[in-house]
Structure 1
Amino acid sequence: MMLHAILVETHANSDLLEKVIRKMTGENHYFFVHVDRKTKKYQDFLKLASHHVFFTDKRYNVRWGSVDQIYATLELINKARSIGVEFDYYHLISGQDYPVHSPQYFDDFFSGSTKSYMELDKKSPIEPRYMYYHLNGIMNVRKGGGETLKRYSLKLQKRLSSLFQLRKPLPMRPYKGSNWWSLHKDMVGYILTYINQHPEYLTRFRFSSCCDEVFFHTLAFNSKLKYTIVEDDLRYYDWHRTYPNEKLPRVLTHSDYNKIMTTNALFCRKMENKMSSKLIILLDDNENII
């Protein structure tokens, strides 16, 4: 039986996480949870601790788009590797993800596999994320004066970059994709070994923007294991607005059930307790539950 480490990055809603853990309960499923340091109700999460649910020793104040997202992910991986269990797979999900199928279906999907699953974005520009200095790590750039300051800062850097190079490029070809993935242990081992041997690679992502979508993909797709990667993160999202200014990806409801079930997704997001309550019931009662 293959062993799975479910790595969870969350900041709110312990009730939803409890439902996820309950649905995915299995002797070969372990959960490792990073709760954002800003979270006020941390004790509500700690109530979920058990012999298969662990919390990171260090908690980061994860600002949108900052390098702290990478730090939190590495903290989760290292926590999983510290408990003395050799996991076959590591699955990174958010606190607003929900499993689509039963634990048995999940296990059967990965049984005997050595593949890793990562979505690859071949259209969006990558270089601006790490070739300019970003303020994400020191302030909230999505609210108030932060947006204005970021805009002017990037405008100035673009002008200066036409005269001289502001930052060194990455040591390898960059790749980008969804920051949620399912990686085989061989890929995780390679990534950690590279970081330990080249600590400057991690340091290079300070003052970058949304590079949790670049950091792991760049290492994975430049490795000798790149041929084991399936360009699919096995997640369902909806990036299409149903009303003006709707935040994306949009919160899923029961009306999304049929669309979700026609995909090969193992997790779906974003979920919220109230808006997604009927969808959660449908997913819990679907035909794959054993």
Structure 2
Amino acid sequence: MDKVAFLIIAHKNPEQLRRLVGRLVSERVVFFIHVDKKVDIKPFEYALDDVEVVWLKRSRSQWGSIGMIKAIMGGLEAIRLIPGISRVTLLSGMDYPLKPVERILKFFDEHPSSDFIDIVSFDQSGWSEAKIQRIRKYYFFVKDKLFEYPINPNSPSLLRKMLDMGLSLILPKTREFPKGLVAYGGWVWFSFSRETVRDVLSFHAMRPDLMKYVQHCLSSDEIYLHTVLGNLQKGMGAVRPGLTYAKWPQGDVPHPAVLTSEHFEELKSLPHLFARKFDETTDKGVLDRIDTELLTSLPTNG
């Protein structure tokens, strides 16, 4: 049977990554792992020394930067070269399955041509002004510090004001999205068929202007693939909701809540295949309960 690839983006907790991979091991599964270039890879290699994985070329995948998309696209390029892979699913090292791997693979077999990702066009209602500004302004990382242009007029930083003044001499105040494209956004975690991976990589090669544009967007990982899919006419209606659950605090916040044992009953009732984010240094017990109550007690043929 065809194989399934898990593309995993990791930056911390190598033992937790090992635990995640251990729960997804199958003769039909291939792991492609990207470890953030900012951290030492040796603890990750040691934790996974008994598992066959493909270690991807590393980039700095700092939150909000283009690094995440570079890591993902590099992973898709590597996966495309491996024959027999029918599906690619993106996970982070802080994700965890809510269903046994046999059931996950059965679900994929039942939906061979479906793609799963949360996607919405930027011109639809529901986008906060702060999120819309992610594509309208320029964002730069200088020594891991984030700068925006135009800056917030209330910013007290003299350095930022000087940078703003200098950039005003070479950059327009407003950005024009690449010609002929409609902007889409959403949560990055996806599961794509091999055909969609092929189409995404073809679009990526044909429209380098989009990659150049999102390089100076904030959280480009929540824009790039969605815009590619939307403009491939695989957008609204053709793509099904994502398979990964997250619990978002109230307000316009950049990160989902860390899931703990307090959330277990909620997790138990979810239809999602995966959830995030977990941190075993905060609460290891919730992962233990998932293992014993969700991943080993359920029948594998239902």
TM-score, scaled relative to structure 1: 0.84
Aligned to 2:115: 116
| Aligned match for 2:191, one of 182, 197, 201 | 182
Alpha-carbon distance in structure 1 between the residues aligned to 2:86 and 2:104: 13
- Distance of aligned partners of 1:173 and 1:167 in 2 relative to their CA distance in 1, 3 Å threshold: same
Specify the SS of the correspondent of 1:5. strand
Alpha-carbon distance in structure 2 between the residues aligned to 1:5 and 1:22: 14
Contact kept, 8 Å, 2:177 with 2:213, in 1: the verdict is no
Contact kept, 8 Å, 1:119 with 1:178, in 2: the verdict is yes
Contact kept, 8 Å, 1:10 with 1:33, in 2: the verdict is yes
Alignment of 1:64-79 (within 5 A): 64-79=63-78
Aligned to 1:14: 14
Contact kept, 8 Å, 1:63 with 1:136, in 2: the verdict is no
Specify the SS of the correspondent of 1:70. helix
- Distance of aligned partners of 1:234 and 1:166 in 2 relative to their CA distance in 1, 3 Å threshold: same
- Distance of aligned partners of 1:111 and 1:150 in 2 relative to their CA distance in 1, 3 Å threshold: farther
**Runs (5+) with no aligned partner, structure 1:** none
Question: Aligned AA for 1:263?
Answer: L
Deviations along 1:129-170, one digit per CA (max 9) or x if unpaired, are: 22321123653339xxxx9669956x969xx7xx96643213
Alpha-carbon distance in structure 2 between the residues aligned to 1:188 and 1:137: 32
Aligned to 1:30: 30
Aligned to 1:197: 206
Contact kept, 8 Å, 1:105 with 1:288, in 2: the verdict is no
Offset of residue 276 of structure 1: 3.0
Alpha-carbon distance in structure 2 between the residues aligned to 1:28 and 1:151: 53
Contact kept, 8 Å, 1:135 with 1:207, in 2: the verdict is yes
Contact kept, 8 Å, 1:97 with 1:270, in 2: the verdict is yes
Contact kept, 8 Å, 1:99 with 1:266, in 2: the verdict is yes
**Runs (5+) with no aligned partner, structure 2:** 148-154
Alignment RMSD? 3.0
Deviations along 1:234-261, one digit per CA (max 9) or x if unpaired, are: 11111127xxxx9841211122111112
Alpha-carbon distance in structure 2 between the residues aligned to 1:247 and 1:119: 16
Give the paired residue count. Answer: 276
- Distance of aligned partners of 1:257 and 1:93 in 2 relative to their CA distance in 1, 3 Å threshold: same
Question: Aligned AA for 2:85?
Answer: F
Alignment of 1:150-229 (within 5 A): 166-171=174-179, 172-226=181-235, 227-229=237-239
Offset of residue 202 of structure 1: 1.4
Alignment of 1:26-65 (within 5 A): 26-40=26-40, 42-47=41-46, 48-49=48-49, 52-56=52-56, 58-65=57-64
Alpha-carbon distance in structure 2 between the residues aligned to 1:183 and 1:264: 19
| Aligned match for 1:135, one of 140, 150, 173 | 140
Offset of residue 91 of structure 1: 0.9
Alpha-carbon distance in structure 1 between the residues aligned to 2:137 and 2:89: 30
Aligned to 1:105: 103
Deviations along 1:252-290, one digit per CA (max 9) or x if unpaired, are: 112211111222211111111133321111211223265
- Distance of aligned partners of 1:148 and 1:169 in 2 relative to their CA distance in 1, 3 Å threshold: farther
Aligned to 2:151: none
Question: Aligned AA for 2:223?
Answer: V
- Distance of aligned partners of 1:200 and 1:258 in 2 relative to their CA distance in 1, 3 Å threshold: same
Q: Percent identity?
A: 22
Aligned to 1:253: 260
TM-score, scaled relative to structure 2: 0.81
| Aligned match for 1:92, one of 82, 90, 93 | 90
Offset of residue 187 of structure 1: 1.3
